[in-house]
Structure 1
């Protein structure tokens, strides 16, 4: 077994370091500029300054004006009387001073917690007298378990003097004579400290039983009160994503949100992730979720094997969302239903993941440095045998018992290593805040010579102008990424075909000498005496060393957000975002590579792909109160422009062997081809969102959007409109509930979301024949009446909190129907075209999402637990009839085939699901029920078309627990999938080659028993053990339960570091234990982010078990 030396794990040996050095220089320059901004202010203020002149207005209007002029957001419930009348006339005064004035003679108190101001009804407090001189007061603030509370606000009551606690919960503040201290912290009961002559306090804060109005980020990146939402939104904080990191941060969501099915890539480190919410809806289009960063949708570019639904998949590559640095993420809002994402356009039917990135914060500079290093090994592997070898001159292991060589396919795999390092800086004043980060990811996969590198640099600055009426938010990110020999599955360019099937009676050290020098040719050639075995097989070490594939990506994202406050209740906001990336792909096949892939002199392929996305929108935002009524509205327009351009050359024959340059490609070779491809899409939109509230307990939400999509050009439906309506009611504010119910809300909504047809369907297109090297003239028939695909969705839900928020429960029921499915159908040979697109069908998804949470403390011990469950039932309600575009006659659509592998096929019938899997072969039986054998004693197969199940799951479950005792923290996540099936053609082929444990057992037992008939193992598996064989024997239950995440950490005593920093060290693990699984591979792994080819293992790279450590330093 090859072991990685530590210097190989951590030593960065690539020339991209020069680029990283340049990035660091820019980072340092920006840091210096931000520090200059910080000290350019005369002094630091704990509250932003406001100017207003309002007479006899409702207190709510004053609060709205403060929100419009500052970055503060007020949080309060209906017990706070914001309808009181007040008068205020101030100019450039601190917010705290204004609040002291307007709340002076009310029963309302406030506390300032970062960007939030919490209002609550005052309890009568009694102050004792104080000494007549200022004094310095110190103290420590903890919770009831004794844990220090960081960032607690400690303010001198009635003044703007204040401070916050440090990492040990300590504070120090100068208190004027006769004043009291107010201690406030979100989620805890405020306390008033009567100073008197006392100079030191030990304060214990109690958790609040009052339900505060939680705020979440929703459509268009707008913050809304959780209680006003008529749909399910699940929020994940950034810390939950970085506790146990994954290179693709989407994998960190698995098991943590209800209603989301997440499949990690079989490509290993950095591979794309499949994220499907509330089931697959579209038969032909993408069903993955939409990603939104800071309110702007992004194009999640991904090209390669993970989009292909066949056994010959090309090299996979990473996806756009995996470029993000997890430490840049503030939070994620998961909008599982189309009603939640109706304002985002066509892709919103699949739900959306709204990502909010970090911003700079006011206060002293904060620096965070973290590193997570993990080591990987295969998680689930087939059961192999090493007892029986091969016969002389044969490859398959159907020989006699052998004891010459002990061969273990696992020895081929390296111990993978991944190191993720991040450094962030947050700094700012009231007028200017800056956030910066640098990230680095270096990884070696378990497949030898599989490497992954990624560097991130991010800068974000927020600045206020014009007396804080205008806010400019600017961000820039740069990503440089490189991956080599990323592999998912398939028989081409796959070392595992030879590794798994290698003859058990042969010395494997032979394969490690993968090349020998040829005197006749004058260069090294591949050493492999076994042929391709019908699998395109080569020496596995030749593949990883002499069939290298390298993909490099440079990506930059730039966004700007400019907001101007017209009135205290109205602002206008414009946003723009550029997202450009360039992929450079090279493939080098050395001379003597298999003739399927290259000529005898080698092959060189080089392509460049440019992806460009430009997005801009303009919004008018209104937030106004009218007595007991409230109005929140967003009206806007947007444009999204995306284009892709690819160019290059694929030279399958080189003039000089092994000289890889475009100039060395034999341009006259029959298979040499120039590559030029591209597309351009644009969508123009107008939209509106209106939320009406009554007494902060009842809300009505209406949305509408109209899109003009370029994909619908040349059709009769150039635009489409889709609305949504929702109602939310806070029952706990309407009626008196039992005391143990702290909060209860009901909600319901309906939405109709449109999705444009795939591009180029409305115009005549032509197909290029790569083998013949010409354009086919007979192709798709253009249709003028194509319509957008449309998803109508109903949703209803209940949210409750009990016993002072110690227990929470949320349940959502949903039902959606997706119609106008666009399907391809063949045309008669008498027409000018080969096929036509028709629109018919109805796919239904219905299910429930359940989240149960608990948060309890007992002294020094804290336990937080969350259980999530999502159930989905997918049904094709109808495929329907359609008019033949040539004859006009109605035609019944019996079924839709989505391909398969070998003697199998995905078939869609009305009444079935989008994951129904059929096999084409079965054992032949005689009239007496005995299996039929041919003259050689081998079983006979007959053609059939039998449904063996659906690859779609029924339930996805997650059970997360986090424990803390003093400075020790421990957490784990158990996830489960219930229902569905998977199939392993890999296992079938391995049986056919005689290398599995099952074939050894059969030989030990003298044969395979089928009923009362015993069949020779070789003769049985030679027929059934292949992709064209008896695949029904290789169907497995997809149900599995695993220990998905574990972390054990310790926060070192701050006194070790002179109280200037906080250091946490942790042990972390992912996929540590497969508790239950009947399949010979990981059922959750996928080789395709597409809708089909799920649940199929065809020499798929094993999923990874990761163990490692993490260090995080804050100062």
Structure 2
């Protein structure tokens, strides 16, 4: 007995002596601490759990083995032996093959099960280099997606198209969905609508640009109609699903801070000549800027060479009747007194110096927490921008709150609300005319010193007369941006709530409702002596919008045996939308600088409209899976739209998609990791906007004291049918070398029928057009996505991706008797020779995006025909100029990691397509662009032929007649001739660069910090393109639409660079 007791005590003592306490930290592949990892002794019930900093302690024996496990990571086991301090890195178990993605109606699915293409981005990817507009974060990252930016800087609209355009007249942009609820991306009304033609377009931004990337957990892009069919008629252009962030477990309340400051410098300016100044025939003298001197009221720069000779100029010294000093441009006070001539020299940087270095600050702080009962996250983001254009700015405040709560094991709720306040004191005017400063610069003589123009009131005429180098046609650029303001303030609220009840293990019911509403007040001020408003003006536009989406869905999910899986759901949705717009104008003011309607000198002009729309829907879906290698999904939906006639307002759509994971059943080489074939087909519909069925009278401006009612010039149609898109998509997903190389190829074809279009009609009918159904568009394309882990070492890794997209939309059919249909235009003036037309030509295999305009008369061989006067002969007959769509788009991203360092580079390549430049047309006509230097002294003999025969029997000889450079460039590049201003729209951009360093956890944990990351960021750093004058990515704006293929005196795009810091506590 003594021996037994002694033996037991000895064994216990040896065990105690062999026990020790180990400690360590668990990280993920990004060197981030992982909380709540289970650390268990294998074969025992003992264990521990890492805290919020990833740290753990555990008492073990040297002979024990321990296992580390956490949701979303591959478990790892180790032998303890003599090791005391541990640093563990867990590898994510969620790969491309089993990734869970958000699909239609907010349903979470394994990407493996899907029979259609979907591409996902994590929130951290779009915050590596933060773009103020969320749409720009997708550029280069998603195959089949084309983004185009506005030219007004931060706060501009950005357009996005998925797989090309499928509608001749409708909205081709995708539907945006936040937490399962559709939200508005519309831009409603513009300064050019109604009231006065003197106002220019102003880009107040698109709806999705209101969102903060810091609040986004993931973005899922549903590219084809098959993927988006469950969203109904609004999703004909695809769907972009945004999932917002939720609270995460932490020790107490978690705090995260993301702070960045970037600086913007203009990246493009027209390439100016600096050899000749303003004037004509080599002569110039300033007197009053109205034509009282020699060429001082003109706009061309074919004046004297800039050789330093003395010439009177607008900033030369003069004096008033009392001998007080003045400038030459102080015309009223000067009263004709002489101006001291000053050296006639170039000012090569006068335009560049006008622009500032812009600054954008984005600050985000978020508080979050979670436990077994629920979670919360409260976030605030502040964006402040001072633009490169003087006095331009943009501010945005985002407050977002997300919460989840489990009332019981079966009943839960999730709520999200975002309040957004955005504003600007000045958004610049766009397009052709004096409200756009680029218009002034392209007519401005190269001798002009703009420093003198900063004091922009004439002496003694403050508030009444601007000071300028040309007061006949142009506004002083500083006067323009500081006095003629376009401001706005927009308050927007988005909210949704999702109530879910688990009826049983397999049945659930979900109720969801969401609202998107905003009020947008825009103000436009015009000072006295403005070119378009000599007595000033004041205008207010009020836009209010609300949209409510509510749906109820019953779902079922089950498995049968070991191989079969089945899910199904039925539901109903109600969508209600209302838009209200009111505009009021004081076209002349009594007192300068007082901007309110009581100060109006003339009768006020008013305009307004209200529009409502409602869609009721029912839908169903089902999915079947067999043995994890065969999957089949079916969906069906029916909409009833109030914008269509009651006889045809009901339209159904469906989708069928299937997937075959052949690598599960076919023995493949070891290097072949995974293979999947997929295919889908669908038929979806699209309705139209309100007020397209019956003609009604609308109020116009009063006729004297009597109200004036007018009928629409377009004959509407009570028998409209919905547009219909039939889609077919096939694809293959392949992974090699233990999933280190991935290939995803998709081929698609969409056929859009019954287009809702407006055809021109005979004026004898009393109408200029008629709304009908007709036309067919067929879109074809291919998308290739490559992902790869090029290098993977303990301290170094290199991952890369590439996206390739190629597609086109062909007009295969138009209504009977119609061969061509004009889908739109980009107008300079109201005449045809000043307009670029977008024409769908079904007879000749035309494509969406084909552009037509005027040019020169030519021989059958394509030689330009000149007149006897030595000038090319313009021809107002429309001809094909090119297509604005690219031949293909490539995005290429690389990520390099070395210990705590990380380098990200994103390239964006667009190849092909044409763009028509009004910068080229105006700057060449005026003589300020570099290419107009040739022939100034010796004249120009144009390359072409002269018809010395008759019109019916032409005989051509080489042109030998010399003309002056001014005559030649005015004729060749005149605004009425678009053919001479066509450029290749190709470009290659370094879209993003980010270099960051994440400090080791062993350092930052001493300060109770979970993560500390600092980096330098840059966007649009370099652009390689054929044209020297402008950024080919930018779009023009006409009304509320962005116009493509036309560059309309765009503002310079910017390159930005700065610093970004991230903290987590």
Give the TM interval when normalised to the shorter protein: 0.7 to 0.9
User: Is 1:1027–2:975 an aligned residue pair?
Assistant: yes
TM-superposed deviation, 1:419: 0.5
Q: 2:302 aligns with which of 398, 403, 410?
A: 398
TM-superposed deviation, 1:1004: 6.6
Residue 3 of structure 1 aligns with which residue?
none
- Counterpart-to-counterpart distance in 2, 1:130 and 1:857: 41
- Whether the 8 Å CA contact 1:130–1:195 is kept in 2: the answer is no
Please show how residues 268-667 of structure 1 align to structure 2 within 5 Å: 268-304=153-189, 313-364=200-251, 365-391=253-279, 392=284, 393-394=294-295, 395-403=299-307, 404-407=344-347, 408=349, 409-466=351-408, 468-487=409-428, 489-492=430-433, 493-518=435-460, 523-528=463-468, 530-533=470-473, 537-594=474-531, 596=532, 598=533, 600=535, 602-627=536-561, 628-666=563-601
- Whether the 8 Å CA contact 2:856–2:865 is kept in 1: the answer is no
User: Is 1:1098–2:1031 an aligned residue pair?
Assistant: no
TM-superposed deviation, 1:1020: 0.6
User: Is 1:842–2:776 an aligned residue pair?
Assistant: yes
- Whether the 8 Å CA contact 2:820–2:839 is kept in 1: the answer is no
- Counterpart-to-counterpart distance in 1, 2:95 and 2:1022: 40
Q: 2:50 aligns with which of 140, 158, 164?
A: 164
- Counterpart-to-counterpart distance in 1, 2:516 and 2:862: 68
Residue 947 of structure 2 aligns with which residue?
none
- Counterpart-to-counterpart distance in 2, 1:758 and 1:779: 17
User: Is 1:214–2:118 an aligned residue pair?
Assistant: no
Query: Aligned to 1:504, what secondary structure does the other structure show?
Result: coil
Query: Aligned to 1:1084, what secondary structure does the other structure show?
Result: coil
Q: 1:874 aligns with which of 801, 809, 829?
A: 809
Deviations 1:810-858 (A, max 9, x none): 1110000111111112334444544321111111111111110112312
Residue 1062 of structure 2 aligns with which residue?
1112
- Whether the 8 Å CA contact 2:74–2:91 is kept in 1: the answer is yes
Describe the shift of the 1:173–1:272 C-alpha distance in structure 2 as closer, same or farther (beyond 3 A): farther
Residue 687 of structure 2 aligns with which residue?
756
Q: 1:899 aligns with which of 825, 844, 847?
A: 825
With structure 2 as the length reference, what TM-score do the two structures score? 0.86
- Counterpart-to-counterpart distance in 1, 2:354 and 2:598: 37
TM-superposed deviation, 1:790: 0.8
Residue 858 of structure 1 aligns with which residue?
793
User: Is 1:987–2:935 an aligned residue pair?
Assistant: no
Residue 120 of structure 1 aligns with which residue?
none
TM-superposed deviation, 1:716: 2.1
- Counterpart-to-counterpart distance in 2, 1:952 and 1:460: 40
- Counterpart-to-counterpart distance in 2, 1:927 and 1:959: 42
Describe the shift of the 1:414–1:692 C-alpha distance in structure 2 as closer, same or farther (beyond 3 A): same
Residue 1074 of structure 1 aligns with which residue?
1023
Describe the shift of the 1:441–1:206 C-alpha distance in structure 2 as closer, same or farther (beyond 3 A): closer
- Counterpart-to-counterpart distance in 2, 1:585 and 1:987: 32
Query: Aligned to 2:968, what secondary structure does the other structure show?
Result: helix
- Counterpart-to-counterpart distance in 2, 1:908 and 1:813: 24
TM-superposed deviation, 1:161: 4.9
- Counterpart-to-counterpart distance in 2, 1:1055 and 1:211: 32
Residue 888 of structure 1 aligns with which residue?
none
Residue 706 of structure 1 aligns with which residue?
638
- Counterpart-to-counterpart distance in 2, 1:200 and 1:526: 76
- Counterpart-to-counterpart distance in 2, 1:761 and 1:770: 23
- Whether the 8 Å CA contact 2:528–2:534 is kept in 1: the answer is yes
Deviations 1:922-958 (A, max 9, x none): 14679996742354x4433233322121011121111
Q: 1:1042 aligns with which of 989, 1004, 1012?
A: 989
Residue 959 of structure 1 aligns with which residue?
892
- Counterpart-to-counterpart distance in 2, 1:931 and 1:795: 49
Residue 1018 of structure 1 aligns with which residue?
966
Q: 2:655 aligns with which of 724, 727, 746?
A: 724
- Counterpart-to-counterpart distance in 2, 1:924 and 1:1015: 20
Residue 736 of structure 1 aligns with which residue?
667
TM-superposed deviation, 1:663: 2.3
- Whether the 8 Å CA contact 1:306–1:1087 is kept in 2: the answer is no
TM-superposed deviation, 1:196: 7.5
- Counterpart-to-counterpart distance in 1, 2:140 and 2:346: 40
- Counterpart-to-counterpart distance in 1, 2:161 and 2:797: 34
- Whether the 8 Å CA contact 1:982–1:1079 is kept in 2: the answer is no
Describe the shift of the 1:259–1:1017 C-alpha distance in structure 2 as closer, same or farther (beyond 3 A): same
Residue 748 of structure 2 aligns with which residue?
814
TM-superposed deviation, 1:769: 5.0
Could you tell me which runs of 5 or more consecutive residues in structure 1 were left unpaired when the two chains were aligned. Answer: 1-128, 882-890
TM-superposed deviation, 1:210: 8.8
- Whether the 8 Å CA contact 2:97–2:111 is kept in 1: the answer is no
- Counterpart-to-counterpart distance in 1, 2:452 and 2:32: 62
TM-superposed deviation, 1:987: 0.9
- Counterpart-to-counterpart distance in 1, 2:610 and 2:735: 52
- Whether the 8 Å CA contact 2:48–2:56 is kept in 1: the answer is no
- Counterpart-to-counterpart distance in 2, 1:478 and 1:338: 31
- Counterpart-to-counterpart distance in 1, 2:188 and 2:46: 56
TM-superposed deviation, 1:442: 0.2
188-197 or 371-380, which deviates more: 188-197
TM-superposed deviation, 1:867: 0.5
Deviations 1:97-149 (A, max 9, x none): xxxxxxxxxxxxxxxxxxxxxxxxxxxxxxxx976998643134568x99576
- Counterpart-to-counterpart distance in 2, 1:435 and 1:202: 30
620-629 or 488-497, which deviates more: 488-497
TM-superposed deviation, 1:1111: 0.9
- Counterpart-to-counterpart distance in 1, 2:17 and 2:701: 92
Could you tell me which runs of 5 or more consecutive residues in structure 2 were left unpaired when the two chains were aligned. Answer: 1-13, 285-293, 308-343, 828-833, 945-957
- Counterpart-to-counterpart distance in 1, 2:277 and 2:766: 58
- Whether the 8 Å CA contact 1:939–1:1019 is kept in 2: the answer is no
Deviations 1:409-444 (A, max 9, x none): 111111111000101122110112011101000001
Query: Aligned to 1:227, what secondary structure does the other structure show?
Result: helix
**C-alpha RMSD of matched pairs (Å):** 2.9
Deviations 1:469-520 (A, max 9, x none): 110111221111102322363024111111232112333334323212556x
Q: 2:108 aligns with which of 217, 223, 232?
A: 223
Residue 15 of structure 1 aligns with which residue?
none
Describe the shift of the 1:898–1:1050 C-alpha distance in structure 2 as closer, same or farther (beyond 3 A): same
Residue 56 of structure 1 aligns with which residue?
none
- Counterpart-to-counterpart distance in 1, 2:1016 and 2:191: 32
- Counterpart-to-counterpart distance in 2, 1:608 and 1:1091: 19
TM-superposed deviation, 1:452: 0.5
Corresponding residue pairs, total: 961
Deviations 1:1001-1041 (A, max 9, x none): 34377535414645432111111222113x21211111111
Describe the shift of the 1:1039–1:830 C-alpha distance in structure 2 as closer, same or farther (beyond 3 A): closer
With structure 1 as the length reference, what TM-score do the two structures score? 0.82
327-336 or 474-483, which deviates more: 474-483
TM-superposed deviation, 1:878: 1.2
Query: Aligned to 1:339, what secondary structure does the other structure show?
Result: helix
- Counterpart-to-counterpart distance in 2, 1:632 and 1:726: 14
TM-superposed deviation, 1:599: 5.0
Q: 2:128 aligns with which of 214, 234, 243?
A: 243
Describe the shift of the 1:996–1:834 C-alpha distance in structure 2 as closer, same or farther (beyond 3 A): closer
